[in-house]
Amino acid sequence: MDKNLFFIDCDPGIDDAAAILLAGADPDAEVLGISAVAGNVPFRHTLANALSLSAFAELNAPVYAGADRPLRGEPLTAEFVHGANGLRGHTLPEHSLTADPTPAWDALYAAAKAHPHKVTLVALGPLTNVAIAFSKWRDLPTLLKKVVIMGGATHTGNITPAAEFNFAADPEAAEMVLRSSADLHICPLDVTERSYISKEELAQLDSQGSPQARFFAAVMGDSVDHYKDDYGVEGAILHDPSAMLYALRPALFTAKRCWGAVETEGVYSRGRLVTDAFSDASENPTCTLVYDVDRPAFAAAILELMQAYQ
């Protein structure tokens, strides 16, 4: 049976790292490429981490350099969550991979052109690379099978009261992507904050013993206190793994069609995802909003997938 084809755009990031490990563990998935964008930490770290993770997840997929800043304004980072190097000080084994010289947006287009309507783009960071790709290659949105996005929130944000980090980091790019003709599937904080793994499940993951499982448990385990203090969750919230697992196992999630846009001008609401998903007012649907998850099945799927590294 043919494998499911993926291209991952990311800003690793502890939860990006966990998401890439899940992609590498899925026997039905083939990752055609990984592109790095500035986001959780400065670009030099996200690119270096993407290279290390491609090797560590046993993907050895080509890694492409993307944008080192948003379309407008200065980079927004989140070292207070991810640490200075993006991996909370953890390190990955040395490897021989180097970045492919092809720009990220051209690599994405080449992958979609080579496999029309078969490649799912999983966008885990600010959408700068994707917006540039869609702007340069006007047929790209309809060449892709779908675009799974970790970003936005319909209730409250996590980097401002209104906005989630990825959309706040480049609101113009997010709005460009949401205005495209691609088959968009948005995984906002509504679902990712419900996608957590408990302390006990992290211990089970660590006990699997593989370097990959132990790394996943360690980097996400480091964030447990943060999520308990800020969210009251007894475990680690897995934002990017939630989007990745939606791409790999959509039956675990609940979603609905709706209209969506991103606020780019608001004084207090810049970067906010605006949607009619839970409103009496309605527009023509433009995307699929993922808003709930079977949390026990989600955690079980992670534990099952990560056993592939044994």
Residue count of the chain: 310
Residues belonging to the active site: 239
Q: Side-chain half-sphere of 150: how many Cα atoms within 13 Å? A: 26
> Closest Cα to residue 31, out of 58, 8, 2?
8
Measured CA to CA in angstroms, residue 280 lies from 9, 57, 273, 284, 285 at distances of 34, 45, 17, 13, 14
Taken in order 150, 155, 159, 162, is the CA torsion positive or negative?
Answer: positive
- Which single residue is written with the structure tokens 């904080």? 189
Checking DSSP bridges between strand 260-262 and strand 253-258, what pairing results, if any? unpaired
65 - beta bridge partners?
A: 36
Q: How far apart are CA 2 and CA 4, in angstroms?
A: 7
Checking DSSP bridges between strand 184-187 and strand 287-293, what pairing results, if any? parallel
